[in-house]
Every structure is written in C-alpha cells, then in structure tokens.
Structure 1
Amino acid sequence: MAKVIIVEDDIELRESLIDYLTQCGHDLQGAGSAIEFYQTLSREEFDVVILDVNLPHYDGLSVAAHLSESSDAAIIVMTVQGAIADRVRGYKAGADLYMVKPVDCEELAAAVVALSKKRRKSDRAPEPGGGVWRLHLSEFQLTAPSGRCVDLTRNEVRVMELVSAQAGAIVSRGDLMQFISKGSIDPDSRALDAAISRLRSKVQAECQATLPLQTVQNAGFVFAGDIRMV
C-alpha cells in the first residue's frame, strides 16, 4: 500500500481517482490547489504525489521542482499538455512519470505501485557507520560506511585529504595537483585523472562501495558524501 496525494483542481476527476486508487488498496488524500497541498505536506509525508499542471496559485511544474529538491516522494505529472516540449519540461522539473490526460486508471494504479516500490528500496536502512566515510591520515587508510578499509598510497591520502577538507565543494584540478605535487606536474595532464581512476577502482574492489568522488567537467572534483578525517 502506498500513501498517495492527488493535487488536482477538477473536483470530479480528483474524487474519481481517489476512489479508484483507494479500491486498489492505497491510502489516498486530495488537494485542490498548490497551497492546500503545501499545507498538507507540512504535516504529512507521501510515497507518491500526483500533480496536475494547471493549478491555482502555483503551477504543478513549480511544485514538482520544489518536491524534487525537498522530498523523496515519487512525482507523477498528469496534464493535458502532451507535446514533447511539455514532457521535457515536466521531466526537467523533477517528474518521475509524465502522463497525458485522459489518464487510464489502471495504468495510473500500476505506476503508483511501481514508483512506491522503488521509493521503498531507496529508503532501506543505512549502512553501518551512518553513511560516513573516514579518512585515517596517520594510518594511510580509508574506511567506507560499511566498515571495510582500504590502504592508500601517500598521494591518494593527499587527494582524499584535500577533497575531504572541502567536501561538497569543487576542488579545482590545479589546486589538487599543487597540493599533491607542489606544482611539479602539469595540471592539464591526464596523470591526475588516471590516479583518481585507480583510487576509485581500489575502493570498489576492497570496500565493495562506490567512492563518491565525482568529476566535474572543466572544473575539478567534488566529494559528494559525508566524510571525516581522523
């Protein structure tokens, strides 16, 4: 069973969809406007949000964009606007599924089940260690959230030291190369990319985990995770 809210200003359509999905075994609520939805959202959480685009006060795409940033609820956009450009805008706003009215109730019910299952998988219990990576500077080791450790080379420790100190922020290639080698290596060379590729592969092999050290094209690197230096 999924907890679902339908944000639709057409009362008859809203109530008919609520009735159908309730008969399918889901927990349903309805809202007639974006403001009413936001008021409900401040009190409750939902597995799936079904959004009309043409809503009073705020349009459904702006609501979808807000939801995609602030909630892990699955988003189904439901509208009469079926052009490719409209669909693209919907997906860019954060829709998991874009459905064109008139919507088939059976298809909508199937989508609710599929998206709520995906959400539950993403909500599984966190790994031991609370999702935190730990860099042991003196021991030249990196510990994954699972508790598995990997030994690092001196340069790998230096890479992790700088990106850990600026976790969540982009570290430029030049700054990273200067920190590692005191400027003796050309920051435009591929040596840094090769070193980071080897580091990622080592962590994957030893820790069975993906190192969240991401390449930002034409900018540098960012550690997109929680890490502590100890």
Structure 2
Amino acid sequence: MEKILIADDEQLMRQLVVDFLQPEGYDMIEASDGKEALELYREHHPDLVLLDVMMPGYDGWTVCREIRRESTVPIMMLTAKGEEIDQLFAYDLGVDEYITKPFSPKILVAKVKALLRRAQNERDAAPAGGDEGVSIDQQARQVVLDGKNIDLSPTEYKLLNYLVTNAGKALSRRQILNKVWNYDYYGDLRTIDTHINRLRIKLGEKGKYIQTVRGYGYRYDVK
C-alpha cells in the first residue's frame, strides 16, 4: 500500500484530503505542523508528500528543502499562496506539483495518481547509460559517472534522466520544461539553458553528450 503524508495545520483540510484519498487505497499519515511533518517523513518514508506552505514550526518551504536534501520523493504543494512568484519558488525547490486552495478534490486525486504512477514508471525503467560512463540507478535515483556517484539537485537529476531516456531525440525547450518542471511556464525559457550548463559542468568530459540543437533545444547523444 502506497503511503502519503499530508501536512497542514488545518484539521478540516487534512480530513478533506484523507476522505478523498483513503478510499483510493492509500495509507494516509497526518502532520499538523512542519516539525511533525519532517519527523513523520523520516519515520515512515512515504511515497508522496502533500505540503501546505503556511504552517507553525517549519513552513512548507523549509520542509520541502529538508526533504529534497535527502530524497527525490514526489512533493505536491497544497496552498492558498497562488502568486506566480510563489509557484516559481516552489518549483525551484524541487516541488513536482502545485495546487492552490480552494481546489477540486477529484482533480487532487487525479494529480496524486499521476505523480505516483510517474514515480513508479521511473523506478521500473531500465538503468540508463553504459559504456559511455554515465549511468542512472532508477531505484536509488542516483547518477554514476565513471563508477563514482555525482551530486545532482532533484531538478538536475530529472533533467538528465529525461534526456538520457530519450537519447538520440531532439527535445525542444518547451518539451523539456513541461516534462521536467511539470508546469505551464510562460516566462524565459533560458532557465533550461542555465540548468543544462550546470549539468554539463558536473558531468565533466561527459557533458559533451548533451548537445545543443540550435534554435530548438537539446539532444543527448553519445555517438
């Protein structure tokens, strides 16, 4: 049974989420503040984390940041903070989905199922890489370069995983943004270029495998 941690200081909100997700077969774990959320996360290792932003103790940003230091578990924000700057900040922290209150419980259920399904598909995928010296351990969500683990942020991991999974294909910046950042972004697409540059640096000589497709996007190719 997949476990979901819901952290929100409003008991009625937690109950609403539990009432809709529990019948779907999920084991629900509840936290009423950020400190308790981190403790329960480390105790139960849930498959998905739902976070409110404004909570006593540690706020949702802090909880997200701490979890991302330890794991790439899917994280969804459930918050009344609907400003674009808040959403962009959340995605920069490594949030996978952002839902503003009030929301449709049915849409919540659908998004939860989609996130868990995507995470399972990534775990089930065959390890990428090989003779070229770059491999991705899907179970551990760890990248190995020439036999050594390299330290990637959650976004960098997802970006490299997407490129390698689609090796040989030219991927547009919009495709990459929608898949890796998982939201509709109408601002500057150069944020992708910044992450690509950081990723190339971390890959060292293997950074050349990430090729620029002029005027379009990027392609991962070891040939």
- Report the CA distance shift for 1:100/1:222 in structure 2 as closer, same or farther (over 3 A): same
What's the secondary structure of 1:222's corresponding residue? helix
Q: Which residue number corresponds to residue 113 of structure 1? A: 113
Give, as a single letter, the amino acid of the residue that structure 1 aligns with 2:41.
Answer: L
- Report the CA distance shift for 1:125/1:215 in structure 2 as closer, same or farther (over 3 A): same
CA contact (8 A) 1:2 1:113 kept: no
Higher relative CO (Cα under 8 Å, sequence separation at least 6) belongs to: 1
Task: Write the distance in 1 (CA, Å) between the matches of 2:125 and 2:87.
Answer: 34
- Report the CA distance shift for 1:165/1:19 in structure 2 as closer, same or farther (over 3 A): closer
Q: Percent same amino acid among aligned pairs?
A: 24
What's the secondary structure of 1:63's corresponding residue? helix
Bigger Cα Rg:
1
1:24 CA drift (Å): 2.2
CA contact (8 A) 2:80 2:100 kept: yes
Task: Write the distance in 2 (CA, Å) between the matches of 1:25 and 1:55.
Answer: 27
- State whether structure 2 residue 19 is matched by structure 1 residue 37: no
User: Which of structure 1's runs of 4+ aligned residues deviate more than 4 A?
Assistant: 131-134, 142-146, 163-169, 214-221
Q: Deviations over 1:25-83 (max 9, x none)?
A: 22211111111111112221111110000011111012112222311211100111111
The runs of 5 or more residues in structure 2 that have no matched partner are 137-144, 152-166, 169-195, 207-223
- State whether structure 2 residue 7 is matched by structure 1 residue 7: yes
Q: Deviations over 1:88-135 (max 9, x none)?
A: 1111111111111012110110011000011111222764xxx8967x
What's the secondary structure of 1:123's corresponding residue? helix
1:22 CA drift (Å): 0.5
- Report the CA distance shift for 1:15/1:166 in structure 2 as closer, same or farther (over 3 A): closer
Give, as a single letter, the amino acid of the residue that structure 1 aligns with 2:13.
Answer: L
Task: Write the distance in 2 (CA, Å) between the matches of 1:3 and 1:45.
Answer: 8
Normalising by the residue count of structure 1, what TM-score does the alignment of the two structures yield?
0.57
Which aligned pairs between 1:13-162 and structure 2 lie closer than 5 A? 13-124=13-124, 127=127
Task: Write the distance in 2 (CA, Å) between the matches of 1:63 and 1:30.
Answer: 14
- Report the CA distance shift for 1:36/1:166 in structure 2 as closer, same or farther (over 3 A): closer
Give, as a single letter, the amino acid of the residue that structure 2 aligns with 1:91.
Answer: Y
CA contact (8 A) 1:52 1:79 kept: yes
How large is the RMSD of aligned CA atoms in angstroms? 3.4
- State whether structure 2 residue 204 is matched by structure 1 residue 222: yes
The runs of 5 or more residues in structure 1 that have no matched partner are 135-141, 147-162, 170-203, 206-213, 225-230
CA contact (8 A) 1:52 1:78 kept: yes
Task: Write the distance in 2 (CA, Å) between the matches of 1:123 and 1:39.
Answer: 25
Normalising by the residue count of structure 2, what TM-score does the alignment of the two structures yield?
0.59
Task: Write the distance in 1 (CA, Å) between the matches of 2:5 and 2:14.
Answer: 10
Q: Deviations over 1:1-35 (max 9, x none)?
A: 63211000101111121121102222211111111
Higher helix fraction: Structure 1 or Structure 2? 2
Q: Tell me the number of residue pairs that the alignment of Structure 1 and Structure 2 aligns.
A: 157
